[in-house]
Structure 1
């Protein structure tokens, strides 16, 4: 299984999370300069044009990119605090594929001061398409950073479903 991992704005995939992801397959984790690549989604798709992915995992800005890449590639996505409604740096937003049926598991930290949970929920409500198998996990204990135990639990749940 090939897994595309997309990090957040000022982040990278740390070794502990990489080890957890590698239990499920081969991990591809590009370093994305969101500040200087205003079309990160197309950049990632171009970089891996010859790679078949089976799942996308992303956090924050990577969750934003993963949301759309999941639709473009029609693969399941696990997204932590995805910056869907607003972002602190400009990114081109592609058209939403209204016919997408890719499974998406969104994990939202209810105490997140960076990506406001209400903004994410409003975005999802505004863009429901009746096709996507969407699972929301609202985590009252979680802020913006995803603790390792939460990451591991959500990975386990996600990969059981797909």
Structure 2
């Protein structure tokens, strides 16, 4: 299995989380400069379209990119606090299919002060007519950063399906 992991703004994939993902397959975790590349989604798609991506996992800005890339690659996605409604850096959104013909799972932190979970829920609500199956898990005490235990639990449930 090829797992495309997309980090958030100024982030990277931490070793403990990489180890969790590597138990399920090959991890592709590019370094993404969202601030200086407003075409990150098209760059990622062009870079990995021939890599047989099986799933996309992303966090924050990586969750935003992962939302659109899962539709382009037609693969399931697991997204943590995705920056769907608002972003602090501009990104060009390329035309994507209305759905990925599979599911998108979203993990939201109710206490997130970086990506407002209400804005994310409103964004999803505004796009429900696209036919995209979306499962949402809201953690009442989760903030923006995803603890290893929460990451591991979500990945386990997502990849065991």
TM-score for both structures, normalised by structure 2: 0.96
What is the DSSP-based 3-state SS (H/G/I as helix, E as strand, rest coil) of the residue aligned with 1:57? strand
What is the DSSP-based 3-state SS (H/G/I as helix, E as strand, rest coil) of the residue aligned with 1:106? strand
Alpha-carbon contact 2:81-2:115 (below 8 Å) kept: yes
- The CA distance in 1 between the partners of 2:48 and 2:78, in whole Å, is 19
Q: Which runs of 5+ in 2 are unaligned?
A: none
Structure 2 matches for 1:80-159, cutoff 5 A?
80-129=80-129, 131-159=131-159
Q: Which runs of 5+ in 1 are unaligned?
A: none
Alpha-carbon contact 2:73-2:100 (below 8 Å) kept: no
What is the DSSP-based 3-state SS (H/G/I as helix, E as strand, rest coil) of the residue aligned with 2:128? coil
Deviation at 1:97, TM superposition (A): 2.0
- What is the Cα-based RMSD across aligned positions, in Å? 1.1
Alignment length (residue pairs): 161
Alpha-carbon contact 1:61-1:82 (below 8 Å) kept: yes
CA-to-partner distance for each residue in 1:77-96, whole Å, 9 max, x for gaps?
Answer: 00000000010001012235
What is the DSSP-based 3-state SS (H/G/I as helix, E as strand, rest coil) of the residue aligned with 1:86? coil
Q: Provide the residue aligned with 2:8 in structure 1.
A: 8
- The CA distance in 2 between the partners of 1:129 and 1:119, in whole Å, is 18
4+ residue runs of structure 1 moved beyond 6 angstroms?
none
Deviation at 1:32, TM superposition (A): 0.3
Q: Provide the residue aligned with 1:70 in structure 2.
A: 70
Deviation at 1:48, TM superposition (A): 1.4
TM-score for both structures, normalised by structure 1: 0.96
CA-to-partner distance for each residue in 1:41-85, whole Å, 9 max, x for gaps?
Answer: 111111113211100000000000000000011100000000000
- The CA distance in 2 between the partners of 1:99 and 1:56, in whole Å, is 14
Structure 2 matches for 1:29-44, cutoff 5 A?
29-44=29-44
Alpha-carbon contact 2:12-2:31 (below 8 Å) kept: yes
Which deviates more, 142-151 or 93-102? 93-102
